Amino acid sequence: MEDFNWIFKFLGRLHPLLVHFPIGLLVVALFLELLTLGGKRPGLREGIHWMVFLGTVSAVLSALFGWLLRNQEDYSGTLVDNHQYLGIATALFAIITLALLRGTLKGKLPHFRIYRISLLCTVILLTLAGHLGANLTHGEDYLTSVFTDDKTAYDEGKGLELLAELKRTDTLSAAQQDRLNLEVRAILAHNCYQCHSENKQKGDLVLDSKEGVFKGGESGEVVIAGNPDRSELYRRITLAPDHDEVMPKKGKVLKKSEIALIGLWIKNGAHWSDQEVKVFPEAELALVKPVLPESDEKHPVDKLIGNYFDQQNKEWPPLVEDRVFVRRAYLDIVGLLPPKKAVDSFVKNTRPDKRSVLIDSLLADGHNYTQHWLSFWNDLLRNDYSGTGFITGGRKQITDWLYNSLLHNKGYDQMVKELIDPSPESEGFIKGIQWRGVVNASQRTEMQAAQNIGQSLLGVNVKCASCHNSFVSNLTLEQSYGFASIFADSVLELNRCDKPLGKMAEVGFLYPELGDVKAENVQERLFKLSQVMVKPENGRLYRTIVNRYWAKLMGRGIVEPLDEMDNQPWDRDLLDWLASDFIDSGHDLKHLIKRIMTSKAYQLAAANYERPDEVKEDYVFNGPLLRRLSAEQFSDAVSQVFFPVFHAVEYDPSGQKPTAQRIWHREIKFDRDVLPEPGKRYFRKSFVIPAKNILEAKALISVDHAYTLYINGEQVAQGNDWKRVGKIHVGRFLRPGKNLVAIEGVNEGVIANPAGVLFAMEIEFDDGHKIKVDSDTSWKSSAEHPNGAWTAVDFDDTAWGQVRNYGHSNWGKLVGFTFEDDRSGFARASLVKQHSFLKALGRPSRENVTTSRDQQATLLQALELTNGEFFNSVLEEAAELWIEKFGGEGQKIVDHLYWNTLGRNPSEKERNLLLSVLGDRPKKEDVQDVFWSTVILPEFQFIN
C-alpha cells in the first residue's frame, strides 16, 4: 500500500481544484433556476439538468478527495472538521437535489418547489464549506498545519479595546505608549516566551527583556523602531500560516489584532515601558476589609457565610450535636480526646454560650494547646529535632523559641519579626539546612531563606524563580536573587539553572511598595525587612496565615493550594475580613482560632462531597470536611486511652537537663567506636556515703534492653523494657562508707544495635543534705563474665574499662525518669523525635517546608497499623493493664472503650458483638484485638 500512497496524495491534492466545479456549476444552476421561476424560459431546463448532474458528481468527488487529503496529510482541528462535515453535507444535498429534479422531470413529483428548496440549501451549504475551505487554504500552497481554537489566558478584549482607541489617534500619549508596550509584551509572553525567553533561548532570541528584544537573535536585529516592514519580528509573524518561517510556528499564528498591535508598537518607535508586565494573576497586596452584610446572624463570619450561602442559593446546613462538637474542639485546640467527664458535663450544661466557654477554657490550657499546635508550626517552619544537616552543624532548631512563643501566645507580627530578624533562639528558620561541601546556587542558605519565607509566610513560590524566571508566577530570577541578597553577607551573583550569569543581584524585597530594605549590612537589612513584612499594608502575610488556620480547622482553605495565595479565594470578603480582624486583634493567634471556632460555619456537620475534585477547583463551601487524625493526634489518643505510645520526649518543656548519661560498654572495631554487639555486659560504680541517717533513698533505672540491678552484692531489681522506668526505694541496701552499684545489662538482637544503662540515685539525709549517683563515664564495665563476686564492693575491677557515653539521641528524655511523682505519664507525640510509626502516619520529615500533610491513606501506613510490632506491642501492654483494671469484666471493658475512644455508648449490636469476642473471661489477645479493631475504625480515625 505504501507505494500507492502518492496516488491518494495526488488525488487528495486535486481536491482544491475540483471544488471549483460544484461551486461554479451549482451556483449557475441555481441562478438559471431562478430565471425559470414562474414557468418562464423552459428551454433552460435541459441545461440546468446537466449542470446539477455534473455539479453533483464533482461535489461527491471533491468530498471524497477532500477526505483523502485530510487523511493522507495529517490535517486536524475543528476548522478542518467543520469543513469536512459541510463538504459531505453539500455532496449529500446535491445528490438529493439531483434525485428530486429527476423525479420531478419524470412526473413523480407534482412541481419543482421541493427540488428548488433543496438546490438552494445545497448552494448555501456549498458557500459555507467553500468559505471554511478558503480559511484553511492560504496562498498557492496547501496548508500543512494544525489549527486549534487556542484561547490562552491572554485577554483579547483589552487588546482590541486598545487597538480601537489607538486607531483613532495619530500621536500616542506617554501613557498610551506604555499601555501599548505592555500589551505587546503580554502578547509576546503568551505566544513567544515558550521558546524565546531567558529560560529557553531558541535562535539566541530572548523576548522577555528589553535587551533581548532589541539585541535580536542569531539572524540579527528583529525590531527596527519605526519600521515594521523592515523588522524581522513583524515579517515573521505576518507570513502565511503554512510558511516555513512563520512565527510563532507553522500552523499557529497570532490573531489579527495581536499582529496589528505589534505593528503599531514598532511603527510608533517600539517604546519600552519601565513597568513590569504581569502575565499571571496576582492578588492585591492590601486587604480590603468588607463591610459586614446586614444579617440576622450574630457572628461576623456567619454574616459573611450567610451572604455566601444566599449567593449560592443554599440553606444553612445543620449544626453538630454537643457530643461531636466537644470532640472536635478538644482535638482542634489541644489535640487530645475529651475525657468522659468533660463530655458528660458539657452535654448536661445548659448555658447558651457553653461552646464559646469551652473554647476559651481549652485555649487557656497553655501547654496542651502548645503541644498540639507545635506540630503545625514545626511543619510550616521546617523545624525538627532530627534531620539532615545537624550532623555537620549546618542546621539549628528553633523549638524552644517556638514552644514559648505559642505558650505565651506571642503576637504573630512579633513572631514574624523574630523569625526574620532573629535572636540566636529563632535563627534556625532563616539559617536553612546546609550539608557539608559545596551547594548549588539555587539552594544556598540565603536562597532557602527567601524560598521558605515566600512559601511559609507569604504563600508565594520563590523556588521556581530561584533557578530561572518563574513560569508559574510573575517572579523573575532577579527578584529572587534580590530577595535572597537581603540575607547574604556579600552580593550574590545571579545563576540561571546553576550557570553564573555574570550579573550581580540588587537587594530588594518582592513587594517594593511596602518599603525599602536596602542597607549596608545584613543585620540592618533583616531589621528593615522584619519591619516591612509585618506592615498592615502587607495583606499577603495575614491572608496567608488566616487561610492556613481556616484550612486546619475546616479541612480546606479559602484559597487552595495554601501556598499559592494568588489563586482565587472562594469568598474574598471572608478572607480579607478574617485577615483584617486578625490584625485588629493584635495579631492574636488564639483569637483567630476562637473567631473561627465560635462561628456556626465551624460547627456545621461534616460536608459530603462525592468526588475528591469537588474540593479542589469549583469548590463550594458547605461545611467542614472530615479530617483524619494527624499522626500526633492518633498517637496521643492511643496514649491517652490505652497505654503510652511514646515514653520519651526530645524536647522537654520544663527545661531540665538530664544529669545521668546513657552508658554502655565501649566497643571498638578497627580503632573506631561502634554500636554494641548483642550480649551481656557488666557495670560497676562505687561511691561513699557519709555516716549520717538516711531519710530517703530512691533509684531510677532504665536499661536498653534488660538489666539486673545489684547494690552491695544484693539483687535489687530487674527489668526488660527501657521505656518503663524502674523506681526503687533503696535505703535498706545502703550503708555508711563505701557502697557499690552493679548492673548486669543485656543487649538483645542479632546484630549490633544501640544499648544503654541510665541510672540515677538520690540519697537524702536527715540534715537535708543530698547526694546523687548518676550513670556517667566514671563507671566501669566489662564484656567478659567476671569471675567471683563482681557485684560486691571489694571486687577488683582495675582491669575493667571505662564505659562510653552513648548520648540520649536513641532514646530521648524519658518522661517517667523523675524522682517527682509521675506527671501525665506519656510523651506527647509533638515532642518526640521523628519515629517510623509517626512517619508512616504522615508526620513529614521536615527537610522542606510542609504546609499540608498527605491525607490519603496508604498501604505502608496500613501495614504499620496492621503488623507493626511497635503499635501492636502498645496495644498488648494496654490489654494487660485493662484486664487488671477491670477485673476481666467484658462489659466494663466495652463501655469504657467506647466512651473513651468514640465518646459514646456502644449500640446493642456493637456491644453484643464485642462481648461475644471477649467471652466470660477475656484473654489478653482478645482484648488486644478488640482495641485494634476499634482504633482502626473510621469513626475513631476521623474528626467528624
Partner 1 sequence: MQEDNKRREFIKKMAAASLSASATSIPVASFLGSCSRPVQKLASTADTVILLWMAGGMAHTETFDPKAYVPYEKGVESKRVLSTFPKIPTVVDGLHFSKGLESIAGVMDKGAIIRSYKSADLGHILHTRHQYHWHTCYEPPQSVQAPHIGAWIAKELGPKNPVIPPFIAMGQRFTVGEAEELKAFHSAGFLGTEFGPFLIPDPAGGLESVRPPKGMSLKRFEARYKLYKELADKSGFLKQGSDYQKESLMRSMEQSYRLLNSPEAKVFDLSQEPKEVYDTYNTGRFGLGCLLAKRLAQNGGRFISVSTEYEPFLGWDTHENGHIRAKKMKELVDRPIAQLIKDLDESGHLDRTLVILASEFSRDAIMEGRPGETVKDQVDQPDIIEDEKFYGMHRHFTDGSSILLWGGGVEKGLVYGKTADERPCSSVENPVVIDQVHQSIYHALGIHPETHYTIEGRPFYTTPDGQGKPILDLFGQPVGKS
Q: Please report, as residue ranges, which positions from 246 to 285 form the binding site for partner 1 (by CB under 8 A).
A: 279-280
Residue 909 interacts with partner 1 (CB under 8 A): yes or no: yes
Q: How far apart are CA 145 and CA 124, in angstroms?
A: 27
**Which of the ranges 217-225, 403-411, 613-621, 735-743 carries the binding residues for partner 1, by CB under 8 A?**
613-621
Residue 910 interacts with partner 1 (CB under 8 A): yes or no: yes
Residue 855 interacts with partner 1 (CB under 8 A): yes or no: yes
Nearest by Cα to 115 from 47, 37, 54, 57:
37
Residue with smaller CB distance to partner 1, 403 or 811 = 811
Which of the residues 363 through 392 are near partner 1 (CB under 8 A)?
A: 386-392
Q: How far apart are CA 543 and CA 546, in angstroms?
A: 5
Q: How far apart are CA 757 and CA 578, in angstroms?
A: 53
Residue 558 C-alpha cell reads as 479559602
Residue 938 interacts with partner 1 (CB under 8 A): yes or no: yes
Q: Residue 196's beta-bridge partner residues?
A: 201
Minimal distance, residue 755 CB to partner 1, in Å:
11
Residue 123 interacts with partner 1 (CB under 8 A): yes or no: no
Residue with smaller CB distance to partner 1, 10 or 280 = 280
Which of the residues 160 through 199 are near partner 1 (CB under 8 A)?
A: 189-190, 193-195
Q: How many CA atoms lie within 13 A of 67 on its CB side?
A: 11
Residue with smaller CB distance to partner 1, 627 or 662 = 627
Which of the residues 872 through 891 are near partner 1 (CB under 8 A)?
A: 872
Residue the block writes with cell 499594608 = 537
Please calculate the CA angle 361-366-369 and round it to the nearest 5 degrees: 85
Binding mask 802-821 for partner 1 (x = CB under 8 A): --------x-----------
Residue with smaller CB distance to partner 1, 17 or 862 = 862
**Which of the ranges 113-121, 125-133, 159-167, 429-437 carries the binding residues for partner 1, by CB under 8 A?**
429-437
Minimal distance, residue 911 CB to partner 1, in Å:
10
**Which of the ranges 43-51, 310-318, 665-673, 881-889 carries the binding residues for partner 1, by CB under 8 A?**
665-673
Residue 789 burial (10 A CB sphere; 0-12, 13-18, 19+): exposed
Minimal distance, residue 97 CB to partner 1, in Å:
42
- Among residues 675, 689, 746, 783, which is the contact residue for partner 1, using CB under 8 A? 675
- Among residues 840, 883, 893, 894, which is the contact residue for partner 1, using CB under 8 A? 840
- Among residues 859, 884, 887, 920, which is the contact residue for partner 1, using CB under 8 A? 859
Q: Residue 267's beta-bridge partner residues?
A: none
The secondary structure element, H or E, covering residue 707 is strand 706-711
Which of the residues 497 through 516 are near partner 1 (CB under 8 A)?
A: 497
Nearest by Cα to 817 from 809, 806, 827:
827
- Among residues 23, 184, 266, 464, which is the contact residue for partner 1, using CB under 8 A? 464
Nearest by Cα to 471 from 280, 648, 749, 710:
280
- Among residues 564, 677, 696, 889, which is the contact residue for partner 1, using CB under 8 A? 564
Residue with smaller CB distance to partner 1, 528 or 627 = 627
3-state secondary structure of 806: coil
Question: What separation in angstroms does the CA of 49 have from each of 27, 54, 95, 97, 428?
Answer: 13, 9, 12, 10, 92
Which of the residues 514 through 533 are near partner 1 (CB under 8 A)?
A: none
**Which of the ranges 359-367, 535-543, 623-631, 683-691 carries the binding residues for partner 1, by CB under 8 A?**
623-631
Nearest by Cα to 687 from 614, 753, 763:
763
User: Who's near 110: CB < 8 A, 6+ residues apart?
Assistant: none
**Which of the ranges 227-235, 412-420, 526-534, 933-941 carries the binding residues for partner 1, by CB under 8 A?**
933-941
Residue 36 interacts with partner 1 (CB under 8 A): yes or no: no
The radius of gyration of the chain's CA atoms, rounded to the nearest angstrom, is 40
Residue with smaller CB distance to partner 1, 28 or 626 = 626
Residue 77 interacts with partner 1 (CB under 8 A): yes or no: no
Residue with smaller CB distance to partner 1, 138 or 911 = 911
Q: How many CA atoms lie within 13 A of 704 on its CB side?
A: 23
- Among residues 17, 164, 357, 860, which is the contact residue for partner 1, using CB under 8 A? 860
Residue 200 interacts with partner 1 (CB under 8 A): yes or no: yes
Q: How far apart are CA 875 and CA 887, in angstroms?
A: 18
**Which of the ranges 16-24, 291-299, 304-312, 663-671 carries the binding residues for partner 1, by CB under 8 A?**
663-671
**Which of the ranges 21-29, 214-222, 588-596, 852-860 carries the binding residues for partner 1, by CB under 8 A?**
852-860
Q: How far apart are CA 556 and CA 736, in angstroms?
A: 67
Query: DSSP secondary-structure letter at 427?
Result: T
- Among residues 1, 174, 291, 751, which is the contact residue for partner 1, using CB under 8 A? 751
**Which of the ranges 28-36, 176-184, 225-233, 462-470 carries the binding residues for partner 1, by CB under 8 A?**
462-470
Query: Within its chain, how far is the Cα of 669 from the centroid?
Result: 45
Residue 414 interacts with partner 1 (CB under 8 A): yes or no: no
Residue 40 interacts with partner 1 (CB under 8 A): yes or no: no
Which of the residues 297 through 316 are near partner 1 (CB under 8 A)?
A: none
Residue 905 interacts with partner 1 (CB under 8 A): yes or no: no
Q: Residue 774's beta-bridge partner residues?
A: 760
Residue 692 interacts with partner 1 (CB under 8 A): yes or no: no
Angle between helices 572-584 and 539-554 (to 10 degrees): 110
Residue 463 interacts with partner 1 (CB under 8 A): yes or no: yes
- Among residues 506, 868, 889, 895, which is the contact residue for partner 1, using CB under 8 A? 868
Q: How far apart are CA 481 and CA 467, in angstroms?
A: 9
The secondary structure element, H or E, covering residue 742 is strand 737-747
3-state secondary structure of 502: strand
* Contacts for 452-455: CB closer than 8 Å, 24+ residues apart: 452/381, 452/382, 452/849, 453/419, 453/420, 454/483, 454/510, 455/563, 455/849, 455/851
Instruction: Report the residue count for the chain.
Output: 944
**Which of the ranges 146-154, 683-691, 693-701, 712-720 carries the binding residues for partner 1, by CB under 8 A?**
146-154
Minimal distance, residue 613 CB to partner 1, in Å:
8
Residue with smaller CB distance to partner 1, 17 or 881 = 881
- Among residues 165, 204, 276, 925, which is the contact residue for partner 1, using CB under 8 A? 925
- Among residues 515, 561, 569, 731, which is the contact residue for partner 1, using CB under 8 A? 561
Residue with smaller CB distance to partner 1, 96 or 626 = 626
Minimal distance, residue 197 CB to partner 1, in Å:
8
Buried b (16+ CB within 10 A) or exposed e, 515-541: eebeeeebeebbbbbbbbbbbeebbbb
Residue 218 C-alpha cell reads as 542569531
User: Who's near 375: CB < 8 A, 6+ residues apart?
Assistant: 335, 630, 632, 829, 830, 843
CB 446 within 8 A of CB 487: yes
- Among residues 90, 451, 530, 580, which is the contact residue for partner 1, using CB under 8 A? 451
CB 219 within 8 A of CB 247: no
Minimal distance, residue 252 CB to partner 1, in Å:
10
Residue with smaller CB distance to partner 1, 584 or 854 = 854
Minimal distance, residue 127 CB to partner 1, in Å:
33
Residue 212 interacts with partner 1 (CB under 8 A): yes or no: no
Residue with smaller CB distance to partner 1, 523 or 873 = 873
3-state helix, strand, coil split of the chain in percent (to 5) is 45, 10, 45
